[in-house]
Chain A
Amino acid sequence: DTGVSQNPRHKITKRGQNVTFRCDPISEHNRLYWYRQTLGQGPEFLTYFQNEAQLEKSRLLSDRFSAERPKGSFSTLEIQRTEQGDSAMYLCASSNFLGHGTNEQFFGPGTRLTVL
């Protein structure tokens, strides 16, 4: 399977704990995006990377959230001191942005986080 993969698929944690999610984009895709999706809503942009550089962060991304994409390959999203409001589906998407034309984003299956 050469699509976007995310691990774990499900994570249950207690409030105050730290969690880390991983996203493996489609090989050679230079762009990687993180979105958050709550029940009954569309995905909301969190942040994105062009290769290893994090180019934009949403104001939704509080200082408890940090994302990395070392060497421009896989990415991790860490949430520190989780709160119940962090419970959501965290989606990763990747694209091959050529500087022009369509920037189709391919989504992974998501990681569903439940904070108790």
Chain B
Amino acid sequence: QQQVKQSPQSLIVQKGGISIINCAYENTAFDYFPWYQQFPGKGPALLIAIRPDVSEKKEGRFTISFNKSAKQFSLHIMDSQPGDSATYFCAASKEDNFNKFYFGSGTKLNVKP
């Protein structure tokens, strides 16, 4: 049973365009939603995270939009750059004593120059 579903599987965007990656979750107890960026041969690195008490969080060119009623959240990368080409994972967890992360299946982003 997949706790977090992510789409699309792959994405091609022109330099300067907007990249949008979507995730949906089932467990309403989740209260922490991070996005991780992973380059080939490297471990995932935290990009940005949100909690369900806000509907949007922006850090530089990266924005998370959160829709609690729909149990969906998305990552928007504005002015996408070739250096943003990587695999992006959404995740969800309950900030209880365990903090186990449930990851989506990933989106491979290719930003063309």
Question: Which residues of A pack against B, CB within 8 Å?
Answer: 4, 31, 33, 35, 40-45, 48, 55-56, 91, 93, 95, 97, 101-110
Q: A4-B43, A48-B98, A110-B43 are in contact. Are A41 and B32 (CB under 8 A)?
A: no
- Is the Cβ of A40 less than 8 Å from the Cβ of B99? no
Q: Is the CB of B43 within 8 A of A103?
A: no
Q: Which residues of chain A are within 8 angstroms of B95 by Cβ–Cβ distance?
A: 101-103
**Closest residue of A by beta carbon distance from B103:** A42
Report Cα–Cα, A41/B56, bound state, in Å.
Answer: 26
Collect the chain A residues with CB atoms within 8 Å of residue B100's CB.
Answer: 33, 45, 48, 56
B binding-site residues for A, Cβ under 8 Å: 4, 6, 9, 32, 34, 36, 41-46, 49, 89, 91, 93, 95, 98-106
Q: Return chain A residues, CB-CB under 8 Å to B89.
A: 42-43
Query: B residues within 8 A CB of A31?
Result: 99
Cα distance A29–B62 when bound, in Å? 28
Chain B residues whose C-beta falls within 8 Å of the C-beta of A56 in the assembled complex: 98, 100
Question: Residue on B with the closest CB to A10?
Answer: B41
Q: Residue on B with the closest CB to A45? A: B100
Task: Select one of A44, A48, A55, A108 contacting B43, CB under 8 A.
Answer: A108
Cross-chain pairs A/B with CB under 8 angstroms, 24 sampled: A33-B100, A33-B101, A40-B9, A40-B106, A42-B6, A42-B91, A43-B103, A44-B103, A45-B101, A45-B102, A93-B43, A95-B99, A102-B49, A102-B95, A103-B93, A103-B95, A103-B99, A104-B46, A105-B46, A105-B99, A106-B46, A107-B45, A109-B42, A110-B42
- Which single residue of chain A is at the shortest CB-CB distance from B93? A103
Q: For the complex, what is the distance from the CA of A56 to the CA of B101, rounded to whole Å?
A: 13
